[in-house]
A and B are shown apart, each in its own frame.
Chain A
Amino acid sequence: MKAGFRIVFFKEMRDILRDRKTLLLMIVLPIVAVPLLLNLLIGFVMKQEEEARTEVLEYVVFGAAHAPELAKRFAAADGFEQVSLGSADELAGAIREDRIDFGLVIPEQAAARLSDLEQATIEFHYDNASASSKVEERVGDMVEAFNEELTAERLAKLGVSSSRERKAVLKPVRLEEKGTGDLREVIGDQIGGMVPYFFIAFCFMGVVYPAIHLGAGEKERGTLETLLLAPIPRHQLVIGKFLAVFSGGIIAVLLNLASVGTWLAIKAGEFRGVLGSLIGAIDTLDLVLLALMLIPVAAMFAALLLSVSIFARNSPEASTLISPFGIVLIVPAVLALLPGVELNWFWAWVPVTNVSLAMKELLKGTMDYSMLLAIFASSTLIAVGLLFFCAKWFNRESVLFRV
């Protein structure tokens, strides 16, 4: 005869996998929705950046005659279109109403100051409340290029003509940065704290529905009572159910990781700049190690949520009781984001936080692999403890026949 827990496990898996809601949460969501969301999000960010960079900026200049060279530069540059406006007083209103993107006011004395080798000031009016706007950067670049030309001219007049001399005059001392953290480390530190949170959330989501279905769902359907009469020890029943819920979490995590991994492999070449190096910093081994660390986390969630679920009278009550755990979970995950919280022998024993920290280290490429053992040991111990509690819980009449 097969061990009781195996009979229960196989039946529960069959039951879970026949449910559309579970399939949607556990399988369709990671395979279809996650890459789609990533695509949309990254595509949107890149498109916004591209648009802000190439969009034609409409501007007005007052006092163009006082710095004609500068005015000409703007007029000749791609992506800028001069329009007209009544007076400089209308600038703020026109920018607010989106009639123009920016305005330059060149004062009368600018011409004299420029020719006298003094510094001229030009007013630059724009909407500085828009974070995604590239107006400041693009106008700044134009003025910077103009400045460089003037600087070269002025220095030449002073007898400084070679570019080496020019550099020496403009910046007598240069600070050469020799940071010990490589780019991967810097980026890993920035996003490493966020990534685990998403995977921990996926893992939680994968566990929730099977836990509700196999705990409170049994009470609701009236099948719990008949199941309790099966001649198998209660702990076997709990282990069978636990393994099914745990598998739900593992399937969700693996599918999410595989989905993200495939997406990264296909899309890696498409990204440039910071985004590109950020994505390039993650490799397959990291994803495998991430999955390994999430195994005991899934076990903890499975035992915990199964205990909560069997306490509830029905599925809606189980959902209500379980939802606060989703929020509470954020706390240990966010702890890993706090400055000064590093993976050490203390934090290695704090559940969820330890996994978040380890994922951060993995992404940074600075993992101390001996810590993995402590993380595995602590998560597994807690999972076993919770499972033990769950088995005890399944023996209490006040829990099973709660009215």
Chain B
Amino acid sequence: MLQVTSLTKTFRLARKKRDSAERTDPRERGRWFHALDGVDLGVQRGQVLGLLGQNGAGKTTLLRILSTSLKPASGVVLCDGEDLTRDPLEIRKRIGFVSGNTGLYGRLTAREMLRYYGRLHGMATAALDERIGFLSRRLDMERFLDQRNETLSSGMRQKVSIARALVHDPEILLFDELTTGLDVAAAESVLQVVTDCRGEGRTVLFSTHHMDEVDQLCDGVAILHEGRLCFEGGVDAMRSETGESFLDKAFLKLIRPKTEETQ
């Protein structure tokens, strides 16, 4: 499981921005931009947690910290009881990360790319080839496995990205806006992977703007607003707390009081 306690992340503001008189974002304080401010959340093994928030709310920053590519300013992230920052190399073996922006090496084929990441994770050739065979069948990638990535469609590319994140068989999966830019069929098959991951007992943290995906997949929801957690609970709690049956409206109600408070 994944446990996040009092997590904060600050970025130094550019001098120009610092000196500018117009400061519209309450997260800009002094020389720092407080991207995350005291975030606490937890995801149980075999659960899918939906991470919601407007653009710039801090979702990607949070996922980047959890994936170890960014270091937190303060706070603790425990991955099955182990501190994430203490031995990031070991933790990385347990984590798979895909975002809508993660790309592929265009000049490599899907198979070569999966082999590359498998080797970086220390996998032996036989086990790696077996795993690639398994993933390509499961993600229906066999027909384009030996094509160069630059020739693939968006849907195919996203499948390769997901296979890349799964190649080392990680326990925790971090998905950042996984279905952005995909057509309905491609999005559907990608979401099936998330369902399968849950079925296999993996821990999934899943950021999205699509409430139907939340409704369909998530066991719990965490809403970030301007770097702070403003809601954590089930999908049903989201509806009952706001009195809205549509999740879009419930989401807006949950962040609106905060927006009004900060203005």
Contacts and interface: CB of A to CB of B under 8 A. Distances in A.
A398 B70 CA distance: 10
Contact of A231 (B89, B105, B124): B89
A222 interface: yes
B109 to A, nearest CB: 10
A19 B107 contact: yes
A328 interface: no
A225 B102 contact: yes
A221 B89 contact: no
Nearest to B120: A230
B108 interface: yes
Most buried by A among B71, B99, B106: B106
Contacts of B18: none
B69 A225 contact: yes
B112 interface: yes
Contact of B70 (A14, A15, A226, A397): A397
Interface stretch (B90-98, B179-187, B217-225): B90-98
Given A225-B102, A226-B97, A231 B120 contact: yes
Contact of B99 (A225, A228, A398): A225
Given A7-B120, A226-B117, A232 B89 contact: yes
A346 B69 CA distance: 45
Interface of A: 1-2, 4, 7-8, 11, 14-15, 18-19, 221-223, 225-233, 397-398, 400-401
Contact of B105 (A7, A15, A228, A230): A15
B257 to A, nearest CB: 30
Contacts of A232: 89, 120
Given A221-B106, A229-B69, A231-B89, 18 more contacts: A4-B120, A7-B120, A11-B105, A11-B116, A18-B107, A18-B108, A221-B104, A225-B101, A225-B102, A226-B102, A226-B117, A229-B67, A230-B117, A231-B90, A231-B120, A231-B122, A398-B12, A401-B69
Given A4-B120, A231-B120, A397-B71, A226 B108 contact: no
B103 A221 contact: yes
B121 interface: yes
10 contacts: A221-B106, A222-B99, A223-B104, A225-B69, A227-B120, A231-B90, A231-B92, A232-B120, A398-B11, A398-B12
B71 A233 contact: no
A4 B120 CA distance: 6
A4 B99 CA distance: 24
A110 B92 CA distance: 100
A222 B154 CA distance: 14
**A-B pairs with lowest CB-CB distance, top 6:** A222-B103, A230-B120, A221-B103, A231-B92, A18-B107, A231-B89
Interface residues on B, range: 20 to 34
A11 to B, nearest CB: 5
Contacts of A2: 119
Most buried by B among A11, A15, A18, A400: A11
Contacts of B67: 229
B108 A222 contact: no
B107 A15 contact: yes
B95 A233 contact: no
B195 interface: no
B242 interface: no
A229 B11 CA distance: 20
A4 B102 CA distance: 21
A222 B121 contact: no
Most buried by B among A18, A223, A226: A226
A319 to B, nearest CB: 19
Contacts of A14: 107-108, 112
B70 A229 contact: no
Contacts of B111: none
A3 to B, nearest CB: 11
B34 interface: no
Contacts of A221: 103-106
B77 to A, nearest CB: 15
Contacts of A15: 105, 107-108
B131 interface: no
Contacts of B120: 4, 7-8, 227, 230-232
Contacts of B121: 230-231
Contact of B103 (A11, A18, A223): A223
B162 to A, nearest CB: 12
A223 B99 contact: no
Nearest to A395: B71
B233 to A, nearest CB: 30
A8 to B, nearest CB: 8
A225 B63 CA distance: 12
B116 A7 contact: yes
Contacts of A227: 120
B164 interface: yes
B95 A1 contact: no
Contacts of B90: 231
B68 interface: yes
B92 A229 contact: yes
Contacts of A222: 99, 101-103
A87 to B, nearest CB: 75
A228 B11 CA distance: 19
A401 B65 CA distance: 12
